[in-house]
Amino acid sequence: MKNYFSVFSLAFFICVSPVLANEWSGNVSLEVRKFSEQGISSSQKKQYGSISVQPEWFHDWDDGKQSLTFVPFYRWDQHDDERTYSDIRELSWLKVFDESELRVGFRKVFWGVSESQHLVDIINQSDLVEGIDGEEKLGQPMINYALINDWGTVDLFVLPYFRERTFPGINGRLRSALNVDTNNPIYESDDKEKHVDYAARWSHSLGDWDIGLSYFDGTSRAPSFTTAVDSNGITTLRPVYNLLQQTGLDLQATLDAWLWKVEVVNRKIKGEHYNAATLGFEYSFYGVFDSSSDLGLVLEYLYDDRDKKASTPFEDDVMTGLRLTMNDENDTSMLVGVIADRDDSSRLYSVEASRRIGESYKLTAEARIFEGFTDSANPLYSLRKDDFVELELAYYF
Amino acid sequence: MKGIILLSGLIAFTGAAYAETAEEKGLAIAVEADKRDQGWGDQATVMKMTLRNSQGAESTREIRGKTLEVDGDGDKSLTIFDTPRDVKGTAFLSFTHTLKADEQWLYLPALKRVKRISSSNKSGPFMGSEFAYEDISSQEVAKYKYKFIKEDKYNGRDVFVLEQYPQYKKSGYTKQIAWIDKEMYQPLKIEFYDRKRSLLKTLTQHEYKKHLDKYWRPARLEMVNHQTGKSTTLLWKSYKFKNGFRERDFDRNSLKRAK
């Protein structure tokens, strides 16, 4: 895949560079992650430094009706080899027609409304070395044709190539007890990563209601695992990528200061059907503490009908969060939350805060605390010693 | 807005028969201002916003805007942020309505996420500035009740002085006093009074130019907050009319490709 990328980007530059004026932006960021204690393995460290670069090149012509976007990404990590990597986040061509839009290339697509987890969102693979919330994504090769009608937008996707999930390496933190052998994935499809996936989504806005109905047929982005002994005689986890059919619904009602949110999926994988859902709301208090700050209260219920057999830790959990938006000139904001299991004592606390410094810098702080993960069957059990604080300073150009 | 035009005709006609009340005269001026500013169709603007805190430290934002005039309702607008660099590509889509809640979506380019957001925070600051969302959203006659105060001179120009009282929910103001230029029927100055009825902000509009031989637009706005000492300057680098925008340029898909 890495060679594939570099050939692709080289070809792209040979074709494009001499003809068009370059229009670059992007960011460079410095990151430090500090863990509160020694991890589950002696190969892990307590402090990790990292640098990432994400430039963006954009060019449009034809009165804005056509454009090219190129967003490569590179990260270097002090200790974790799997976190020193590059990706093409985006390399795509867009053509806008009167009642439709065509997009071809590597892209990221987001579906959904909820905050605690993203069930409906399925087009892109999660870039798990970036963060455990799975919100960072790998670029997905696709052809996407959007038909825009009075009765809503229909997006059709052909996804000709599968991207494997990234996992932290043997020296990395926030990983499973056994190392994931990303070089030896197992696919249900004989076409392996070349299996062509299809997806479709209808989305519409009706007054206070925003609705999306989606269907996906292809290789599951989330793998299951099987233990295996690698060529060095070490027991590892081999990711297993099964075929999946997913029907999804996302719905938001925006009623004054209330945002009511629903995400429901029905998944068929390995001959079994199951349902999962996120239901909740966000309510905002405006101008709190006699200031221009807004305080949002987020409450979401996370459900999976496979219960304890679920591959997710969030099968019967409640997320409670507070979002503070200061509306100041530095865009200062903070989200503090906890996801609590209703059946045991496990609690995942998280804090995310950010503010701009001057005109071009942004400081982001993130912390996670894993409390009460004593059940070894919990998928997050291996993270029980991984409480951490992360500071990131990014320069935007 | 057609209903309002009819109403204005009625007021002009009956006005001759008996003495107008201050409320009727205030409404008539607002209706005339609205009538004179109809039919511009669409506009594309490039703006620079400078925020100043009470110590005088400045920060800037560069914004591009597209607006589509909607007959009989509030306008549709798409706002794209170019700077600060960390929010580059963030886009804001707004369908304004006269009295029912506006519809608003925000596009977050890092997550590629279109978020429907609540529009009930009318009095909240726009991009950390001294302009509230309600100050920059489309001004419709039915949003206020009016009262004519007096005719006066402001900076050497003849003006009407009006009081306007917000009729939409969640306004941060109890009252606004507007100095309306008699020739342009555009405000030269507006004072904003907060929920405690004390003076909160003063807006002055400068360097008016006539576009398409009919529509007056200011090139500079100055908003001063008297309670915090902060201020914001909004500078228009360009206005472009007759862009041929359609509804399609203001749908949720347009947010995702607003660069």
Give the domains, in start order, of chain A with CATH numbers.
27-396 (2.40.160)
Q: How far apart are CA A385 and CA A380, in angstroms?
A: 10
Q: Which residues of A touch B240 (CB under 8 A)?
A: none
Report yes or no: B248 at the A interface, CB cutoff 8 Å. yes
By DSSP bridging, strand A361-371 and strand A388-396 are antiparallel
Q: Which residues of A touch B103 (CB under 8 A)?
A: 205, 207, 254
Nearest to B259 among A67, A110, A328 (CB): A67
Q: How far apart are CA A304 and CA A343, in angstroms?
A: 13
Distant-in-sequence, close-in-space partners of A239: CB < 8 Å, separation ≥ 6: A164, A165, A167, A180, A181, A182, A185, A186, A223, A224, A225
pLDDT (0 to 100) of residue A6: 53
pLDDT (0 to 100) of residue A20: 52
pLDDT (0 to 100) of residue B17: 53
Q: Which residues of A touch B84 (CB under 8 A)?
A: 331, 356, 359-360, 396
Report yes or no: A123 at the B interface, CB cutoff 8 Å. no
Distant-in-sequence, close-in-space partners of B77: CB < 8 Å, separation ≥ 6: B65, B66, B67, B68, B93, B94, B96, B138, B250
Minimal Cα–Cα distance from A226 to chain B, Å?
Answer: 32
**CA Rg, chain B, in Å?**
19
SS3 state at B250: helix
Q: What is residue B205's DSSP assignment?
A: E
**Do the Cβ atoms of B234 and B61 come closer than 8 Å?**
no
A143 has which bridge partners? A104, A158
B20 — pLDDT class (breaks 50, 70, 90): confident
How far, in whole angstroms, is CA B201 from its chain's centroid?
15
Minimal Cα–Cα distance from A42 to chain B, Å?
Answer: 35
pLDDT (0 to 100) of residue B258: 80
Best residue of B52, B60, B66, B112 to probe chain A, by most A CBs closer than 10 Å? B112
pLDDT (0 to 100) of residue B72: 80
Handedness of CA A274, A260, B258, A65 (dihedral sign): positive
Minimal Cα–Cα distance from B258 to chain A, Å?
Answer: 9
Nearest to A396 among B85, B120, B252 (CB): B85
pLDDT (0 to 100) of residue A78: 97
Domain count along chain B: 1
By DSSP bridging, strand A333-341 and strand B103-108 are unpaired
pLDDT (0 to 100) of residue A9: 54
CATH for B91: 2.50.20.10
Q: Which of A347, A346, A319 is nearest to A335 (CA)?
A: A319
Does residue B253 surpass a pLDDT of 90?
Answer: no
Report yes or no: B86 at the A interface, CB cutoff 8 Å. yes
What's the mean per-residue pLDDT of chain B? 90
Given the cut 0.85, state whether the ipTM is greater than it: yes
B31 membership: H or E segment, kind and range: helix B22-36
Identity of the residue numbered A166: T
Report yes or no: B229 at the A interface, CB cutoff 8 Å. no
Query: Which residues 355-394 of chain A have a CB within 8 Å of chain B?
Result: 356, 358-360, 362, 394
**Residue-range definition of the domain harbouring residue B204:** 2-256
Report yes or no: A335 at the B interface, CB cutoff 8 Å. no
Q: Which of A114, A110, A167 is nearest to A276 (CA)?
A: A114
Nearest to B51 among A58, A96, A329 (CB): A329
Q: How far apart are CA A203 and CA A33, in angstroms?
A: 39
Minimal Cα–Cα distance from A286 to chain B, Å?
Answer: 6
Q: Which of A166, A163, A192, A194 is nearest to A180 (CA)?
A: A166
Nearest to A148 among B113, B116, B248 (CB): B248
Nearest to B118 among A257, A328, A396 (CB): A257
SS3 state at B183: coil
Minimal Cα–Cα distance from A181 to chain B, Å?
Answer: 28
**Do the Cβ atoms of A86 and A2 come closer than 8 Å?**
yes
Each residue's pLDDT, cut to its tens digit, for chain A (397 residues) gives: 444 555 455 455 545 554 455 589 999 999 999 999 999 999 999 999 999 999 999 999 998 899 999 999 999 999 999 999 999 999 999 999 999 999 999 999 999 999 999 999 999 999 999 999 989 999 999 999 999 999 999 999 999 999 999 999 999 999 999 999 999 999 999 999 999 999 999 999 999 999 999 999 999 999 999 999 988 899 999 999 999 999 999 999 999 999 999 999 999 999 999 999 999 999 999 989 888 899 999 999 999 999 878 888 899 999 999 999 999 999 999 999 999 999 889 999 999 999 999 999 999 999 999 999 999 988 899 999 999 999 999 999 9
Q: Chain B: residue nearest A207 by CA? A: B103
Establish how many alpha carbons lie within 13 A of residue B122's alpha carbon, considering only the half-sphere containing its beta carbon: 23
pLDDT (0 to 100) of residue A104: 98
Q: How far apart are CA B113 and CA A200, in angstroms?
A: 17
For the stretch B123-174, pLDDT in tens is: 899 989 999 999 988 888 999 999 999 999 999 999 999 999 999 888 999 9
Q: How far apart are CA B196 and CA A249, in angstroms?
A: 45
B49 membership: H or E segment, kind and range: strand B42-52
Q: Chain A: residue nearest B110 by CA? A: A136
Report yes or no: B118 at the A interface, CB cutoff 8 Å. yes
Best residue of B81, B168, B253 to probe chain A, by most A CBs closer than 10 Å? B253
Which of A91-105, B21-35, B78-92, B94-108 has the lowest average pLDDT?
B94-108
> Does B86 contact A98 at a Cβ distance shorter than 8 Å?
no
B121 — pLDDT class (breaks 50, 70, 90): confident
